[in-house]
Amino acid sequence: MMEKNASEGPACSPEETASEFAKVPTAEPPGEVAVSESTREEQVPKPQAPAPQAPTASTATKPAPPSEDVPSAPLLLTLEDVSSSSVTVSWEPPERLGRLGLQGYVLELCREGGSEWVPASARPMMVTQQTVRNLALGDKFLLRVSAVSSAGAGPPAMLDQPIHIRENTEAPKIRVPRHLRQTYIRQVGETVNLQIPFQGKPKPQATWTHNGHALDSQRVSMRTGDQDSILFIRSAQRSDSGRYELTVRVENLEAKAVIDILVIEKPGPPSSIRLLDVWGCNAALQWTPPQDTGNTELLGYMVQKADKKTGQWFTVLERYHPTTCTISDLIIGNSYSFRVFSENLCGLSTSATVTKQLAHIQKADIAAKPKGFIERDFSEAPSFTQPLADHTSTPGYSTQLFCSVRASPKPKIIWMKNKMEIQGNPKYRALSEQGVCTLEIRKPSPFDSGVYTCKAINVLGEASVDCRLEVKASATH
């Protein structure tokens, strides 16, 4: 070491320094160290003098170099980063470089509680940031840096606090699976196997509680790995229901997650049932809720009926919530029994509660009481609802005339041409169906042009409608 360093700490022989240097990790070579030199450093000329030699017994007696020949202490020594195996520091060049120029910097380490300073590199390095690697977990040491010229090392700049090499701490975090964020429901006898992943560094410590108390190791087992914790129950019982809390700790940090487990089974049947009343084709029932709901809410009741003759049960109501009901549409002359099941998430109760009494649907004496019937008179004089329409036809092509009439009793229909009846004339065909009157004129000629009349006559009166038919003669050339 330089004479300046020798004056800062207790003197040691070169052999002791070399042996101590072998014990501490070395810094990365300049080509591999992340170097961030300032622009001021780039302007500093590199010294031409050879690197200083380690002090010997003969040089120790030489007088100290003048203060203007050695540089002052580096500025702003800063701890940039500490990991589980390395430490990075940076600094600024000293205010005074010395008359002989700056030759580099020497980074030294001293174990906490020790007195010997060991250089991190074999020679001064012209960098203002240096990383020391391959450090052991748990190491605590002081760190200082000195600027070196050919005249010797200047006063060091030292960190105020010792550096502790330890594993990086990551706050614990529990990732609860989506299906466990709501109540986790299992049936009695089923297996409960919950795997809860978490993260944190160093390895977290995980603990479980059940309703605020420690787990019963006779019923519940747990296993914790580096990244998850498993809760296992081989055969779940209703007593295993409750709130399970997982706590993950890393040093003074902790995370908690709550998982609600509900162990259920089929409910018991209703406590009692009775037949309240029977009237007409109806029967009224009432029952009381079961004493055991299966450790969960009921979804309702199933009501069934059975005819005494067949003994077959038929479902009347499903998932019915009230405890009273009326059964209707029972068959007269039959006798009925009724039973009720309870139902929850596990299903129907294994047994049902059955009425002790039968509901007898009696045959009532029914006498017909016909009401007086007033016959309505639908008689009506003829009236035309659709009159005849004027029509133009072409000679040689049959044509038809239409009208509709309403009358009761059915009227007699008479067709006339120019006020003369044409009944019986084979050239004409008259039809009457459902009140629609039709007159067909077969292959008319201009002679058939004229006024046609349809007359309807019954006992209450008569009515008639007219239209004009024009048969145009074919044009001759």
Q: Residue 232 contacts by C-beta under 8 Å, 6 or more apart in sequence?
A: 191, 192, 193, 194, 220, 221, 222, 223
Average pLDDT over residues 312-316: 94
Res 196 pLDDT > 50: yes
HSE value, Cβ hemisphere, 13 Å, CA-based, for 164: 6
Tokens read off for 15: 């052999």
Query: Helices (H), strands (E): how many in the chain?
Result: 3, 36
Rounded distance between C-alpha atoms, residue 260 and residue 176, angstroms: 12
Rounded distance between C-alpha atoms, residue 333 and residue 126, angstroms: 115
Res 12 pLDDT > 80: no
User: What does DSSP say about strands 118-119 and 140-149: parallel, antiparallel, or unpaired?
Assistant: unpaired
Rounded distance between C-alpha atoms, residue 443 and residue 165, angstroms: 124
What is the CATH number that goes with domain 379-469? Answer: 2.60.40.10
* CA 255 to chain centroid: 23
Q: Where are the domains of the chain?
A: 76-163, 168-262, 270-377, 379-469
The CATH architecture of the domain made up of 270-377 is: Sandwich (2.60)
Rounded distance between C-alpha atoms, residue 413 and residue 453, angstroms: 10
Phi-psi region of 50 (alpha: psi -120 to 50; beta: other; left: phi over 0): beta
User: Residue 448: which of 411, 396, 388 has the closest Cα?
Assistant: 396
Q: What does the DSSP 8-state code read for residue 226? A: S
Residue of 10 and 327 predicted with greater confidence: 327
> Residue 162: phi, psi to the nearest 5?
-70, 155
What helix, strand, coil percent values describe the chain, rounded to 5? 5, 45, 50
User: What's the angle, vertex CA 211, arms to CA 207 and CA 217, rounded to 5?
Assistant: 55
Distances (CA, A) of 474 to 321, 396, 399: 88, 10, 16
Tokens read off for 395: 């000679």
- Edge to edge, what strands does the sheet with 273-279 contain? 273-279, 282-287, 324-327
Q: One-letter amino acid identity for 290?
A: P
- What's residue 37's pLDDT? 35
Rounded distance between C-alpha atoms, residue 396 and residue 355, angstroms: 89
Res 61 pLDDT > 60: no
The percent of residues in the chain predicted with pLDDT above 90, rounded, is 49
Residues 107/132, Cβ–Cβ less than 8 Å: yes
Q: One-letter amino acid identity for 5?
A: N
- What's residue 251's pLDDT? 83
Q: How far apart are the first and last CA of the chain?
A: 144
Which of 2.60.40.10, 1.20.140.10, 3.40.1190.10, 3.40.50.970 is the CATH number of 76-163?
2.60.40.10
Residue with tokens 């003829």: 382
Residues 51/103, Cβ–Cβ less than 8 Å: yes
Distances (CA, A) of 381 to 83, 138, 408, 409, 465: 116, 123, 7, 8, 15
pTM over 0.75: no
What digits encode the pLDDT tens for the residues 255-283? 999 999 999 999 999 999 999 999 989 99
Res 447 pLDDT > 60: yes
Residues 382/457, Cβ–Cβ less than 8 Å: yes
Res 17 pLDDT > 60: no
User: What does DSSP say about strands 461-471 and 391-393: parallel, antiparallel, or unpaired?
Assistant: parallel
Q: How confident is the model at residue 65 (pLDDT cuts 50, 70, 90)?
A: low
User: Residue 240: which of 225, 218, 223, 255 has the closest Cα?
Assistant: 218
Rounded distance between C-alpha atoms, residue 387 and residue 464, angstroms: 9
Helix intervals (H) in 353-405: none
What digits encode the pLDDT tens for the residues 105-137? 999 889 888 888 888 888 888 888 988 888 887
Helix intervals (H) in 2-152: 3-8, 14-23, 39-43
Q: How confident is the model at residue 81 (pLDDT cuts 50, 70, 90)?
A: confident
What digits encode the pLDDT tens for the residues 217-269? 899 999 999 899 999 999 999 999 999 999 999 888 899 999 999 999 999 99
95-104 core/surface letters (b: 16 or more CB in 10 A; e: else): eebbebbbbb
What's the CATH superfamily of 168-262? Immunoglobulins (2.60.40.10)
Tokens read off for 417: 């041409």
Rounded distance between C-alpha atoms, residue 296 and residue 243, angstroms: 15
Average pLDDT over residues 177-201: 92
Residues 458/407, Cβ–Cβ less than 8 Å: yes
Tokens read off for 458: 């019954």
Rounded distance between C-alpha atoms, residue 228 and residue 235, angstroms: 22
Residue with tokens 């990244």: 227
